[in-house]
Structure 1
Amino acid sequence: MKSTTINSKLQYAICILSLGIFGCTEPQTNQSSEEASSDAPIETAIPAITHRLSADQTHNKFSSTIEPVIKVNSGAVVEAYTKEATDGQLNAESGIDDLNKLSFEPIHPLTGPVYVEEAQPGDILAVTLHDIEIGDWGWTAIVPGFGFLADEFTEPYLKTFQINQGDQTVAFSDKIKIPLNPFPGVMGVAPTTDSLLSTIPPRANGGNMDNPYMIAGTTVYFPVFVKGALFSIGDTHAAQGMGEVCGTAIEAPMRIVYEINVIKGDRSITEPEYEDDDYYAVTAFAPTLDEAAKKATRYMVNYLVEVHGMQRNDAYVLCSLTGDLKIAEVVDVPNVLVAMHMPKKVLGI
């Protein structure tokens, strides 16, 4: 299970062909002709888009009963547009009055679900994020009653941002610039229940993981619970720190190109896992950080034993020596999410 890298020139070409609403900026390079010689590493190209989903093809619950908006085969490459997290309740001109009227009911419009023909319960669904393009604005806020320090920060606060094509940072103030690092806050497959579950907490099916490591170039693996998997994506963030402590990131609309593959006959997984060229990672949700951290450690031990043939004691010790526990989010009650990363160079891969 391995992810791919991004070829920026082909990314630009695909953006032009896709007629996206956000426009396209041709990538620039500072390489000299010698630096760009034939000895340079060749990046893997983004595969051709096979299906497109608009930002109107959304839902905001997790359930096995939600009808798919499209059916695809394993190997499909989907271009999906997403809305910002409030589903249009806020816009670039919004103020505190708009924030005070915010309803949580429409929160997290998710583009999908996508039904994958070959997916069956017990399989693994591999979703490779090939390209993520930010829209032209975003917002962050303090919503009274929500956030890690909700009892201390009780007044509403809203900040909006203009984002231009090609921007690498966004201005927080005259002195502070925040690096842009776009990723989907919510990705997930359908759970087995026919109830309509809130998208606010993360669960075994993925959901609101709010993990800023799940960027372009990452492959995320989901356990499949229902036939067709029913994959959805949304709650896109332009920037977020680990923990998302105030309860919001820079929430922004986006265009995402992802590839979706079914893995059969491999190991089974309990909760989502992910990787890029540098590390393999596991995730774990729980009501407390202690419980989530213990689960993440246990899942990494299982991975090292099952995939790399390690003895369980050795795997546990290696987690202590080179595994990195990371708090992804602490605000999406009733669950928090913790990940553990294992460097691939340590494993010799």
Structure 2
Amino acid sequence: MCKSLLLSLFFIVPILFISCKDEGKDQTHSTTKIEKSVNEITPEFTLTKDQTHNKFSSAIEPILKVKSGTIIEAFTEDASDEQFNLNSKVEDLKNLSFEPIHPLTGPVYVEGASPGDVLKVTLHQIEVGDWGWNAIYPGFSFVADSIKGEYLRIYQLGKDRTHVDFNENIKVPLNPFLGVMGVAPPTEEMLSTIPPRANGGNMDDPNLTQGTIVYFPVFVEGALFSVGDGHAAQGLGEVCGTAIEAPLRVVYQLDIIKNKILKEPQYETNDYYATTGFATTIDEAAKKATLYMIDYLMQEHNLSENEAYALCSLAGDLKIAETVDVPHMLVAMHISKEVLGIK
């Protein structure tokens, strides 16, 4: 759904309509070095933050169709859909509606993407907007049964800020990233964006930041890729229920990988490769992330099943990425590229 530009335009940007690159040939999914400088990146299209929806469904019409290899600049709203502002107080929490939560910019249709393919998303640039908020909402947090309070704090941000002052002694570094990224699931049902799923969704993993490449399984024609839920800073787990929720400017590239099947998203940086697993318990999510890493090591590094399993124990790091969407959890396993002989 689209909102009025006058009501929701936070960043004022031109919409560019420039020809896309030729659709890519079949690609293999192998671990790669990520070397392109952000200064070399030129977006071919711009999506403004009024071009949003807040559900995951194959029935949502795309706002843009592009070829494989296209670079897109997208502006996103904060997770509340601008229900807060720089003057908001903790009393405003009582008026928070969850209905518009997670406005997502998109979806983008990638020509040639079909079920069974993989959508490679390269996050070239991520810049934080001018402000953000962090809150504890009653009943919505990892330990909501133990901590009952309400809390809201507004932060002044900006693309040149490197940290925020939590108090006079504590400084929190900024690491802007997208809390929600995903392709459309294979259903016309309008699914909530709150939990992570096999299509991606509310992954809330702070490792999915500038320079990371994320791989999504494709479930519908065109993939229908969307982004939103910008975070300026967040620890692994997002235990209080929110990060510093903020609007973002994001530049990303979409490439189709043929002849490669993933069950759930995976990602890589220059330093490591990672698999993810979602489930309704930490145990099950961790098992899935481990099994997906074993599959990756067997397919991409020619290890036997037992060798891959042993290497996961010797060099694999399980990380709890998402806990707040109880009972939905997301766990990632990282393995160093230096260990894999890639660096």
> TM above 0.5, one fold?
yes
Cross-structure match for 1:170: 164
Computed over aligned residues only, the root mean square deviation of the Cα atoms, in angstroms, reads 1.4
- Tell me by how many angstroms 1:171 deviates: 1.2
| Secondary structure of 1:290's aligned partner | helix
Q: Does 1:68 align with 2:62?
A: yes
What is the distance in 2 between the residues matched to 1:173 and 1:21? 33
Structure 1 SS opposite 2:333: strand
Q: In the alignment, is the contact (CA less than 8 A) between 1:50 and 1:78 conserved in 2?
A: yes
Name the structure 1 match of 2:313. Answer: 320
Q: Distance in 2 between matches of 1:157 and 1:169?
A: 20
Aligned residue pairs total 311
State the alpha-carbon separation in 2 of the partners of residues 332 and 152 from structure 1: 16
Correspondence 1:92 to 2:77 = no
Any conservation in 1 of the 2:108–2:224 contact (CA below 8 Å)?
yes
Q: Which runs of 5+ in 2 are unaligned?
A: 1-9, 14-34
Residue 226 of structure 1: aligned partner: 220
Q: Does 1:48 align with 2:42?
A: yes
Residue 293 of structure 2 contacts residue 312 of structure 2 at CA under 8 Å; is this kept in 1? yes
Q: Distance in 1 between matches of 2:44 and 2:66?
A: 9
Match of 2:197 in 1: 203
Q: Does 2:301 correspond to 1:308?
A: yes
1:145 to 130, 139, 143: 139
TM-score by length of 2: 0.89
Determine if contact 1:100/1:156 at 8 Å carries over to the other structure: no
C-alpha distance after superposition, 1:68-91 (max 9, x if no partner) = 011111111000000000001111
In 2, are the aligned partners of 1:189 and 1:232 still within 8 Å (CA)? yes
Q: How far off is 1:334 after superposition?
A: 3.2
CA distance in structure 2 between the partners assigned to 1:247 and 1:131 by the alignment: 26
Out of 110, 131, 134, the residue aligned to residue 128 of structure 2 is: 134
Give the deviation of 1:332 after TM superposition. 1.2
* C-alpha distance in 1 between matches for 2:82 and 2:293: 39
Once the two structures are TM-superposed, the CA of residue 43 in structure 1 deviates from its matched residue by 5.5
Equivalent residues of 1:142, 1:153 under 8 A apart: no
Q: Aligned-pair distance for 1:153?
A: 2.0
Deviation at 1:51, TM superposition (A): 0.7
* Residue of structure 2 in register with 1:286 after alignment: 279
1:276 paired with 2:269, answer yes
Q: Residue type of the partner of 2:185?
A: P
Cα drift, residue 128 of structure 1: 0.4
Structure 1 regions of 5+ residues with no counterpart? Answer: 1-18, 23-41
The structure 1 segments of at least 4 consecutive aligned residues displaced by more than 4 Å after TM superposition are 19-22
What's the TM-score, normalizing by structure 1?
0.87
User: Relative to structure 2, which stretch is displaced further, 95-104 or 305-314?
Assistant: 95-104
3-state SS of the aligned residue for 1:198? Answer: coil
Question: Which range moves more in the overlay, 314-323 or 328-337?
Answer: 328-337
1:37 corresponds to: none
Q: Pick one of 111, 131, 149 that aligns with 2:105.
A: 111
Determine the C-alpha separation between the residues in 2 that align with 1:107 and 1:152: 25
Shift of 1:250: 0.3
